Structures are given as structure tokens and as C-alpha cells.
Amino acid sequence: MNIDGKSTKKWTIIILIVIGAAILLFNCFAIVEEGYIGVRYRLGAVVQDDLVPGLNFKIPFIEEIRMVEMRNQIYTFEGDAYTRDTQRVNNLRIKLTYRYDPNFMTELIQRVGIINIEARYLVPHVQKISRDTIGRTNAERLVQSRGDIQFEIQETLERELAPFGIIVTAVAIENIAFESEFEESIQRKVIAEQDALRMENVTVMREEEAKQVVIAAEARAESAIIEAEAEARAIEMIQQQIAQNREYIEYLKIVQWNGILPQVIGDGVNPFVVLGSENIPAQRPAQTPVEQQ
């Protein structure tokens, strides 16, 4: 009976030792996931802030490894603002994309703690900078050049948050709403500008067509002048040839003759010259003295 009691006690101790060893071994390692870095705490103090993803050793019950996400994170600000010309911007929504600078990790943890970064840095800076930037901008420009205002806000946030170890990667103005009367006036102005641009394009096109007509007319006039000058020059040359050589007239007659000899009809006093035989009228036979009586 005593033997059985000693054996049970022995096995109980062995089991407890195995369980304790398993717990001890389990607490010697921590797994850091991809997209995170591991921060090693020793008795509550940060001793290392660059543990890579994977299995990492730690001293059990003395050290603790916590994961901090290093991928891009998003903070969204929603509120109202006023433009330079006192137009109210309703339901303003700005989305900030950011991540932590690994070189500032220990300082961030010691100064504010990871869970307090949004409330301590992002909320006040995003609200102030976005409202100040919009407050320096006219409402019309805010509508027509949203991308420029967005870039200006991003540049300012990058400069202001970098010293705290926060890297701004993108800023987007997702929503801007004005009073309905102002939006309608903006829409009317845009339509008027589009109509004016369209009319300007039509005017330019018509001016170009008019220029082409003028160019064509000038070209025709110049061609006519050249042709007239050439004809005058030809006449002048012909006159010179005639003046120098009287036989040149006979030469021109030969060149321009069509090969049909002239024909003469009628009496000897008033002859009628016909160039084609087909136009000669039929002649009546001569009358005898008896027929004349």
C-alpha cells in the first residue's frame, strides 16, 4: 500500500516537472508576424525595438515581446471648415495614410505609447492643418483645384509629423460639401466658362477659315497677275518679231490656218467670202433674155 502511494507521488512530481518545463520553454520564445516589428521589454523597460518577423528568444517571466504594426495605417478626420471667403465646408472628410518610422520606435513608446499616438499627434495636427489650409483658400479654388489643396495639406503634415516619428504617405480629401446656393452658382459659372470656351474655339475656327479664303484669293490673284504678265510678255515678243521681220505675219497665218481654202460667191462687184463649202447657198441658173422680159 505504501509502495503504491510512493509511486503515485513520484509520477505526480514527474508530471508537474514536465508541465513546468513546457511552460518555461513556451515562455522562452515569441513569434513576430510579417508587417510588424518586435519590441523587447525587460521588467517593463524597452531594451530592443527592431526584432524581425519570425521566432525570437526571450527570458521567461522577465522579458516580454510586443508587436508593433509597421504597415500603412489610416486615420480619417471628419468635421467642418470655412474658406477664405467665409463659405462653410460641410461634412469635410480627410483621409491620412501613415506609418511609423522604425528609427523613432523607442522614443514613441517611451514618450506617448503606441496606443496614444493617434490621439496625441494625428487628431490635433490633421484638424488644425486641414482647417488652416482651407481657411487660406477661396471656395471656388477649393472646388476646382482640390488636388493642389490636398498636396499642400500633405506637405505640411509630412513636415510637422516627421519629428515625432510618423511618416505621412498620402492625404486624400474624400468629401467637400457647400451650401446648395453656392454649389449652384459654381455650377452656373463652370457652364458659362465652358460655353465661352466653346464660342472662342468657334471664333478661332472661323478666323482660320477666313484666313484660308484670303490666302486662296491672294493665290488666285497672284496666279492671274503672273498669267497676265506672261501673256503681255508674249504679245510684246510677237510685236518685236513683227517689227523686225514682216514675214513673221505670214508665218502666223500658216500656223493658224485650218486647211480650208476660202470660197467666193456672188458677182465680181460684191464678192462674199465663205470659209466652208457647206455654208455656200445653192446658185440659181442664169436667166435668158426671154425670161427676163
All residues at 6 or more sequence positions from 177 whose CB lies less than 8 Å from its CB, including other chains:
89, 90, 91, 92, 183
Over residues 186-204, the pLDDT tens digits come to 656 655 666 666 777 777 7
Q: Would 120 be classed as within a structural domain? A: yes
**DSSP secondary structure letter of residue 112:** T
Residue 214, pLDDT above cutoff 70: yes
Strand, coil or helix: 83: coil
Domain coverage including residue 211: 180-257
Q: Are 247 and 227 members of one domain?
A: yes
User: What CATH code is carried by the domain that includes residue 135?
Assistant: 3.30.479.30
Q: Can you tell me the distance from the alpha carbon of 220 to that of 227, in angstroms, rounded to the nearest whole number? A: 10
Is pTM beyond 0.75 here? no
Domains in the chain, number: 3
Query: 169 or 239: which carries more pLDDT confidence?
Result: 169
For residue 152, which of 171, 138, 166 has the smallest C-alpha distance? 171
pLDDT of residue 289: 44
Q: Can you tell me the distance from the alpha carbon of 143 to that of 145, in angstroms, rounded to the nearest whole number? A: 6
Burial 93-129 (b: 16+ CB within 10 A, else e): ebbbebebbeebbbebbeeeeeeebbeebbeebbbeb
Under a CB-based contact definition with an 8 Å cutoff, are residues 78 and 95 in contact? no
Mean pLDDT over all residues of the chain? Answer: 79
For residue 49, which of 106, 92, 11 has the smallest C-alpha distance? 106
What average pLDDT does this structure show over 123-137?
Answer: 93
For residue 94, which of 149, 12, 161 has the smallest C-alpha distance? 149
Q: How confident is the model at residue 73 (pLDDT cuts 50, 70, 90)?
A: very high
Site of grid cell 526571450? 58
Over residues 19-65, the pLDDT tens digits come to 877 777 777 888 888 888 888 998 888 888 888 888 888 888 888 88
**DSSP secondary structure letter of residue 71:** S
Query: 217 or 190: which carries more pLDDT confidence?
Result: 217
Site of grid cell 481657411? 135
Q: Would 136 be classed as within a structural domain? A: yes
pLDDT of residue 256: 67
What average pLDDT does this structure show over 88-92?
Answer: 86
Q: Would 280 be classed as within a structural domain? A: no
Strand, coil or helix: 39: strand
What average pLDDT does this structure show over 129-137?
Answer: 92
Residue 279, pLDDT above cutoff 90: no
Q: How confident is the model at residue 161 (pLDDT cuts 50, 70, 90)?
A: very high
Q: Would 248 be classed as within a structural domain? A: yes
Q: Are 82 and 174 members of one domain?
A: yes
Query: 94 or 210: which carries more pLDDT confidence?
Result: 94
pLDDT of residue 191: 59
What average pLDDT does this structure show over 253-276?
Answer: 59
